[in-house]
Structure 1
């Protein structure tokens, strides 16, 4: 696997957080100058490839994959498309966590779910169900996420106070319930 493919894979998985030069150097066991050469090659590859929607962006020493500006209108249309059928189980899970725990960082969502949620958070932002609401005052100043007014409309409620009180809900292990039902028959 080439360094370009490895960098691309790492940046894809890192999502909106991106990776710093130091992180990439450490993961790829490359010197800073060698890594910068590879990043320049990757940027040139994307820039010269009209069949690719991706671009490499560097901000404040962090590199991330983004879509090319030429696709902005298409992505806006996608974000406005009806979402009734588009929310996956993972999206609903993250949306629920944000709704009940807001404001919350992506890392806090990840800790609750046990998996990386950056892609799901990006999708929920594209659907205007959640938005960034500032930075948490801790080291690294991660983004804080909250639900939007569109979320309230989507849920058919006027305020977050109308959400079901989750503290009164009982979680049931579906597999255990099915197994218990079979035994009792």
Structure 2
């Protein structure tokens, strides 16, 4: 494993949250100055590779992998094709968690699902079902996600209080963990 491939793997898993220079340096166990050089090499690699759709950006002191701007129209078209309007199981799980536990961070969603949810969150945002509603007041200030008014339309309800009470549903034992300790909705 090269340093660049390790950075790439970490940034891929970190998703929308990204990682700071210090976090990357600690995880890969190299000095911050060496990490800065490696990040510059990775950014240059993406910039010079016309066969790669990725680029490296730094926002809010965090590094993230994103798609190159020239793919924006393609990704918008993908998000709005009829074949992609139905929600995958991962998207449905993620949407359910956000609906019942909002506002919630991606890391908290990942902890409930046991897998990275950044792709599902991205799709839900592209479909207008969830949105960023602020930052959690903890180290790293991760994004908080909540459902949108369009979500209410999508579900055919007027208020979140109209969501089904999950404690009344007979669900499989392995699915119970998804809804454990669902807090009551605030008015």
Question: What residue in structure 2 maps to residue 117 of structure 1?
Answer: 117
Q: Secondary structure at the match of 2:133?
A: strand
Match of 1:152 in 2: 152
Distance 1:22 1:69, change over 3 A: same
- Structure 2 length normalisation: TM-score? 0.82
In the alignment, which residue of structure 1 is the partner of 2:55? Answer: 55
* Structure 2 counterparts to residues 24-103 of structure 1, below 5 A: 24-82=24-82, 86-103=86-103
Q: Kindly tell me: are residues 150 and 84 of structure 1, through their superposed partners in 2, closer, same or farther at Cα, counting changes over 3 Å?
A: farther
Normalising by structure 1, we get a TM-score of 0.83
SS at 1:66 equivalent: strand
Which stretch shows the higher mean deviation, 15-24 or 147-156? 147-156
For the 8 Å contact 2:17–2:142, the answer to whether it is kept is: no
Bigger-Rg structure (1/2): 1
TM-superposition CA deviations, 1:131-153 (whole Å, max 9, x none):
11122334433222111222223
Which stretch shows the higher mean deviation, 37-46 or 136-145? 136-145
Alignment of 1:135-150 (within 5 A): 135-150=135-150
How far off its partner does 1:84 sit?
A: 6.3
Give the root-mean-square deviation of aligned CA atoms.
2.1
Question: Structure 2 regions of 5+ residues with no counterpart?
Answer: 175-187
Unaligned 5+ segments in structure 1 are 175-185
State whether residues 130 and 146 of structure 2, in contact with CA within 8 Å, keep that contact through their aligned partners in structure 1.
Answer: yes
Distance 1:55 1:84, change over 3 A: closer
1:132 paired residue number: 132
Q: CA distance change for structure 1 residues 130 and 52 in 2, over 3 Å: closer, same or farther?
A: same
Q: Which residue of 2 aligns with 1:163?
A: 163
Shift in Å, 1:120: 1.8
Change (3 A) 1:163 1:43: same
In 1, the alpha carbon distance for the partners of 2:49 and 2:86 equals: 29
Q: Deviations over 1:9-45 (max 9, x none)?
A: 1111111111111111112121222211111111111
